Homo-oligomer: A and B are copies of this chain.
Amino acid sequence: MIVVMQPTATPTQVAHVVDLIREMGLKDHVIEGTDLTVVAVIGDDRKKDGAKLEQAPGVDRVMKVLQPYKMAARETKRGETTRVTVGADCVFGGRHVPIIAGPCSVEEESKIIEAALAVKSAGAHALRGGAFKPRTNPYSFQGHGEDGLKMLAAARAATGLPIVTEVLTPSDVELVAEYADCLQIGTRNSQNYKLLEACGDQAKPVLLKRGMAMTIDEFLQASEYILAAGNPNVILCERGIRTFEDHTRNTLSLSAVPELHHRTHLPVVIDPSHGTGHARLVPDMARAAIAAGCDGLAIEVHPDPEHALTDGAQSITPQVLNDLMASLQRIAVAVDRTCEPLAAVSG
């Protein structure tokens, strides 16, 4: 932490800041510059609300130096990326780049099985689908709940694809974990700390979506909640941030991929469907994501988007996915990765 004094600050004001720092159990280091004085704070100030020093007379502002997360920090793993295994053999964080595909919401058992077979046939490695749906509008379809989870289990049985599905509230975590291979925490719950803790306190991996107004620091602090609660298997997912842009539903910020890799050992997945909101933008953004170095993709696929109950505008068809997989594989190879079908991987 660096406390920047105002150019007009008096020695008494500097001395008072030094006192406050020492009261916090930290050490001070005063540096007198040509224009103003700064006070460097030495010691681990992450548990302190250092911003309050801004209230001391003569202080201009307070700048943080330490990154506010520890377990998520790259250094913790000496530069290696954590490998998170979903289901039997779908690994995020290795050389292979798995593709999670499926409809936004689980509509009927026959339909989700049909979708699962289609995405598997196209080459996807995991199935996504929502049984509990967070909807902006209270009058929209909210998902089938436990029945939807059972339909997902049936789709897994039919295809062997592991299941990634969303959980909305702490009291549902146990139930969802019973059926799912990976719990998804959605963008609107990305700072629902009780939910983060509950997902940290169970055994299944967690796919944590970035909040639509979250900085990278805040994203990693959210992941730290899960890690600190005891679950080391966290996959981070960038899914677009909210900006002034209006040609997309969100602005997909792909620089999050190398930046997260720079700061954390956790694998990073990209969701080009929510990240754009328009099916016609999905293939190019999926290709870009793999070229940027992501560790996986989550793509909305619906056999009949014109009749989807939710998110039809951003769902691609299995046929589009099929064509896309071939080109993703070429891009992956160009960056020394692979995203071929898992049988081929294990074979």
Contacts and interface: CB of A to CB of B under 8 A. Distances in A.
A287 to B, nearest CB: 4
Interface residues of A, number: 114
Contact of A221 (B31, B63, B137, B169): B137
Given A53-B306, A255-B285, A243 B241 contact: yes
A106 to B, nearest CB: 15
The quantity of this chain's copies bound in the complex is 4
Interface in A254-300: 254-259, 262, 275-276, 278-281, 284-285, 287-293
Contact of A312 (B38, B52, B290): B52
A138 B222 CA distance: 8
A7 to B, nearest CB: 6
A281 B275 CA distance: 20
Contacts of A257: 284, 288
Interface stretch (A87-95, A111-119, A191-199): A191-199
Contact of A134 (B51, B193, B228): B193
B280 A262 contact: yes
Nearest to A283: B258
A254 B68 CA distance: 29
Contacts of A42: 31-34
Contact of A54 (B135, B191, B278, B333): B278
